A and B are shown apart, each in its own frame.
Chain A
Amino acid sequence: MIDANGLVRRFGPLVAVDRVNLAVGAGEAVALFGPNGAGKSTLLRMLATLLQPDAGTLAWFGRSGHGGRRDARRRLGLLSHQSFLYPDLTPAQNLAFYARLYGVEDPQRRAAEWLRRVGVAGWGQRPLRTLSRGREQGCALARALIHGPEMILLDEPFTGLDRGGVDMLIDVLRDFVERGSSLILSTHDVELGLAVCQRAVVLRRGRKVWDGIVGGAARAEFDEAYARIFATAPGNSHA
């Protein structure tokens, strides 16, 4: 569903993503691991069509270029640590707005359904500003899924969520993958990432240093590799 080859993105002199290859198929759930500054967000923003790569090729659902990007925007969902929701509008207004923007039929009803699904139904008519971080993130999840995307990209979705919020998110995402859709999520929390995903990709300083299925016996192997990668990384005290 996404096919990236040799992706490079620089910010001025800094190489944020360095020759990364990544292919993700239908029904696959991939966790991107790595410390802050490893290039996770940059990679995700490129996959989400928000950032143009400086080099490399990128195809969504078999199409690339301008047409591929336009098509991808319709079929992708994006959840960032920012909610993309207007604080002065109510959750219901926000969701209906995004539903309309994606051309979803009956936006009001769809918004109400999703508010129930993420457990914010009772708060639907207050300004978003007055909601807790967890509920706002719930609304943001609903916003990312309201147009029925085939793939969802999540950038540090667990940040600032309490236990209940994390459980709800994991629940929705597992359900999403079980229906044959795919997802890529970035996190620095290995446990949470692997609670949703079977495949792990590790980035370090913009490069992909590990990519594989993590389950059962492979888990120990991954943990060892992960520890080794970051133990030997100089200047990675913040990892």
Chain B
Amino acid sequence: MRRWFDTVHPGLTLVAMAAAIFFVFVYVPTDRDQGIIQRIFYFHVPLAMMTYLSVATVALGSAVYLWRRDRAWDRVAHGAAELGVLFCSLVLITGPIWGKPVWGTWWTWDARLTATLILWLIYAGYLLLRSVAPGEQGARYAAVLGLVGALDIPGINRAVYWLRTIHPAVIQNRDGSTGLADPRMQLAFVVCLIAFALLFAWLLWIRTENLRLQDSVEELRQRALHT
């Protein structure tokens, strides 16, 4: 795995990213209704999907850590949570950029927007917990929160739809329904999805390695203090 991530994977990710940029800015035709701004969709949706992949990875890492108490899994959960917050932030930034010209407003309390914001808040809280609870104890606490958070998200996604009757959405969210009629658009979307999945894997690898090195530095420091 280390070999792969040190040699092949970075190159692959860069190529995929370059291809994604080519497809989004050159290859794909401009949307008839929405115009040029629709192209942000090719980043926005894969980022959202990577956010949910991060959430699932946090839950998996947390569950395995609680079961086996192997710090490697804790580092996977920790790294994935950071990526989740990062990707979710990008979703929350790219969304309004698209929403302003298309919906006529930066923000609306549409169900999906609300759910994404709450998800961001949960994992921002997770990272805060990690920063105030260090060591093995912090790992256990974070694992519990990672599991509760992942279990809560389906509930949140349902609950935000209960609200729609009070806060009608300005316009129905049309992501995926009207945008991708053209097969070239579908191809561009798949390329972007692959590029972001590769980026996710690469960043997760770098971050868990980083955390592992932090742990060993700390170990060496303690050992030096004691001899």
Q: A9-17, A81-89, A141-149, A211-219: which lies at the B interface?
A: A9-17
* Residue of A with least CB distance to B219: A13
Residues of B contacting A205 in the complex (Cβ-Cβ under 8 angstroms): 226
* Residue of B with least CB distance to A205: B226
Shortest beta-carbon distance from B98 to chain A in Å = 45
Shortest beta-carbon distance from A195 to chain B in Å = 33
Main secondary structure of the interface of A (DSSP, over half): loop
A205 to B223 CA separation, bound complex (whole angstroms) = 12
Residues of A contacting B135 in the complex (Cβ-Cβ under 8 angstroms): 11-12
Residues of B contacting A11 in the complex (Cβ-Cβ under 8 angstroms): 135-136
* Residue of A with least CB distance to B221: A13
The answer on a CB contact under 8 Å between B226 and A12 is: no
* Residue of B with least CB distance to A54: B69
A205 to B225 CA separation, bound complex (whole angstroms) = 12
Q: Does B172 contact A (CB under 8 A)?
A: no
Which residues of A1-44 have CB atoms within 8 Å of chain B's CB atoms? 11-14
Shortest beta-carbon distance from B222 to chain A in Å = 4
* Residue of B with least CB distance to A206: B226
Residues of B contacting A235 in the complex (Cβ-Cβ under 8 angstroms): 226
A63 to B215 CA separation, bound complex (whole angstroms) = 35
Which residues of B180-227 have CB atoms within 8 Å of chain A's CB atoms? 215, 218-223, 226
Which residues of A215-238 have CB atoms within 8 Å of chain B's CB atoms? 235
Shortest beta-carbon distance from B125 to chain A in Å = 23
Shortest beta-carbon distance from A235 to chain B in Å = 8
A12 to B223 CA separation, bound complex (whole angstroms) = 11
A14 to B134 CA separation, bound complex (whole angstroms) = 14
Which residues of B115-160 have CB atoms within 8 Å of chain A's CB atoms? 134-136
Which residues of A193-213 have CB atoms within 8 Å of chain B's CB atoms? 205
* Residue of B with least CB distance to A13: B219
Shortest beta-carbon distance from B226 to chain A in Å = 7
A33 to B223 CA separation, bound complex (whole angstroms) = 23
Shortest beta-carbon distance from B19 to chain A in Å = 43
Shortest beta-carbon distance from B189 to chain A in Å = 45
A235 to B223 CA separation, bound complex (whole angstroms) = 13
Residues of A contacting B220 in the complex (Cβ-Cβ under 8 angstroms): 13
Residues of A contacting B136 in the complex (Cβ-Cβ under 8 angstroms): 11-12
A109 to B215 CA separation, bound complex (whole angstroms) = 53
A21 to B134 CA separation, bound complex (whole angstroms) = 30
* Residue of A with least CB distance to B216: A13
Residues of A contacting B218 in the complex (Cβ-Cβ under 8 angstroms): 12-13
A84 to B77 CA separation, bound complex (whole angstroms) = 35
A132 to B145 CA separation, bound complex (whole angstroms) = 40
Residues of A contacting B215 in the complex (Cβ-Cβ under 8 angstroms): 12-13
Residues of A contacting B134 in the complex (Cβ-Cβ under 8 angstroms): 12
Shortest beta-carbon distance from A54 to chain B in Å = 9
A11 to B215 CA separation, bound complex (whole angstroms) = 12
Known contacts A12-B136, A12-B215; 17 further A-B pairs (Cβ under 8 A):
A11-B135, A11-B136, A12-B134, A12-B135, A12-B218, A12-B219, A12-B222, A13-B215, A13-B218, A13-B219, A13-B220, A13-B221, A13-B222, A13-B223, A14-B222, A205-B226, A235-B226
Which 7 A-B pairs rank lowest in CB-CB distance, beginning with the nearest? Answer: A13-B219, A13-B222, A12-B135, A13-B218, A14-B222, A12-B218, A12-B136
Task: Identify 19 residue pairs between A and B in the complex whose beta-carbon atoms are under 8 Å apart, listed by A's number.
Answer: A11-B135, A11-B136, A12-B134, A12-B135, A12-B136, A12-B215, A12-B218, A12-B219, A12-B222, A13-B215, A13-B218, A13-B219, A13-B220, A13-B221, A13-B222, A13-B223, A14-B222, A205-B226, A235-B226
